[in-house]
Structure 1
């Protein structure tokens, strides 16, 4: 089953939080069964004064990193929705947004109070440099 449309809607909120300076972090979690890949952590970085995303793949015994543009990170993350991850959590300073698949693979998106009071320092630095 493809989750392109629902995850695309969720990812649009990720992009908006990057643009408006409220992004704190993004995490893919809750795996199906016992997998070697445990989490994917996404954080913004500046690469030659361009805002990009660093994807940190947390395995049981190692960590791997990839750098992507904001747009190219979407298909890379989409590969892991439902295989092996059942949830993605966007943390912003305005809300936490959880994209979740249940056992029947029905999608729900839940907004909760924010866990973070400060946006990523990289986002703030990037937005300040644009002004």
Structure 2
């Protein structure tokens, strides 16, 4: 299945974990090539009126400051999707009930695997 379709299925699990309060963290890893961008981290920010996520871009070089943006879940989906296959080939979803890994292979096909949870509690991001 093309990676775009598989990523949409993967994102449904992200949304479900957020709605159920199980979303702990999401990480984009396995960079393609040698970019300055090292990782993208997504952490939950629960507020009274809406669920937001803090998206943090971490860079290799110390000269480039990390960037942080607070986004809605839909904004985060569009933002992260633009980095798939260009900058990153793996996305890891950490929930309190399971870890879900999305990978893109060299042929452009997506795959989703599940493992035991790494996190047992949800820790909110602190937007400094």
Regarding TM over 0.5, the answer is yes
1:113: how far off?
0.7
Equivalent in the alignment of 2:114 = 111
Equivalent in the alignment of 1:59 = 59
Q: In structure 2, what is the Cα distance between the partners aligned to 1:73 and 1:9?
A: 15
Q: Any unmatched runs of 5+ in structure 2? A: none
**1:56-94 deviation per Cα after TM superposition (whole angstroms, max 9, x unaligned):** 001123200111111111111100011110000000111
Q: In structure 1, what is the Cα distance between the partners aligned to 2:23 and 2:13?
A: 10
1:8: how far off?
1.2
Q: Any unmatched runs of 5+ in structure 1? A: 123-131
4+ residue runs over 6 A deviation: none
Equivalent in the alignment of 1:8 = 8
**How many residues are treated as equivalent by the alignment?**
121
Q: Given the alignment, which residue of 95, 101, 123 partners 1:98?
A: 101
1:48: how far off?
6.3
Secondary structure in structure 2 of the residue aligned to 1:12: helix
Give the TM-score normalised by the residue count of structure 1.
0.84
Q: In structure 2, what is the Cα distance between the partners aligned to 1:116 and 1:47?
A: 21
